Amino acid sequence: MREKDLLVKDIGEFSLIERLVEVLGPAARGAGQGVIRGIGDDAAVLQNNPGTRILASSDMLLEGRHFDLSYCKPRQIGWKALAVNLSDIAAMGGRPRWALVNLGLRPELKVSLVEEIYAGIAELAEEYGVIIVGGDTCSSRQLIIDICILGEAYRSEIVYRSEAREHDMILVTGSLGKSAAGLAYLRGKNQVQLDPDAGEELLGAHLQPVPRVHEASLLIRSGMVNAMNDISDGLASELHEIVQASGCGARIWVERLPLSPGTVQMANYAGADPLDWALYGGEDYELLLTIPGSKGAPLKARRLSNSLKKATGTSLSFIGRILPFPGVELVYPDGRIEPLAQGGYNHFKNSAT
Cα separation, 250 vs 135, in Å, equals 41
Spell out a b/e string for 101-128, using b for 16 or more CB atoms within 10 Å of the CB, else e.
Answer: bbbbbbeebebebbbbbbbbbbebbeeb
The tens place of each residue's pLDDT in the chain, 353 residues long, gives 567 778 999 888 889 888 988 888 776 665 678 898 888 888 989 999 999 999 999 999 999 889 999 889 999 999 999 999 999 999 999 999 999 999 999 999 999 999 999 999 999 999 999 999 999 999 999 999 999 999 999 999 999 999 999 999 999 999 999 999 999 998 887 677 888 899 999 999 999 999 999 999 999 999 999 999 999 999 999 999 999 999 999 999 999 999 999 999 999 999 999 999 999 999 999 999 999 998 888 899 999 999 999 999 999 999 999 999 999 999 999 999 999 988 755 544 555 44
Give the helix ranges, DSSP H, for 40-128: 74-91, 111-127
| Same topology between domain 3-157 and domain 161-339 | no
Strand partners, 54: 152
CATH of domain 161-339: 3.90.650.10
Candidates 3.50.50.60, 3.40.50.300, 2.60.40.1930, 3.30.1330.10; CATH matching 3-157: 3.30.1330.10
pTM of the shown model: 0.92
Which of 165, 166, 205 is closest to 185 using CA atoms?
205
CA distances from 23 to 53, 99, 184 (A): 30, 15, 32
Domain boundary assignment for the chain: 3-157, 161-339
**Exposed (0-12), middle (13-18) or buried (19+): which is 331, by Cβ within 10 Å?**
middle
H or E, element range at 309: helix 297-312
| Residue 36 CA: distances (Å) to CA of 24, 101, 133, 215 | 17, 18, 10, 29
Q: Where are the alpha helices (DSSP H) in 170-296?
A: 178-187, 196-207, 213-221, 235-246, 261-270, 274-280
| CA distance linking residue 194 with residue 178, whole number of Å | 14
Beta carbons of 11 and 106 less than 8 angstroms apart: no
Rounded to whole angstroms, what are the CA distances from 107 to 10, 23, 110, 278? Answer: 8, 20, 8, 39
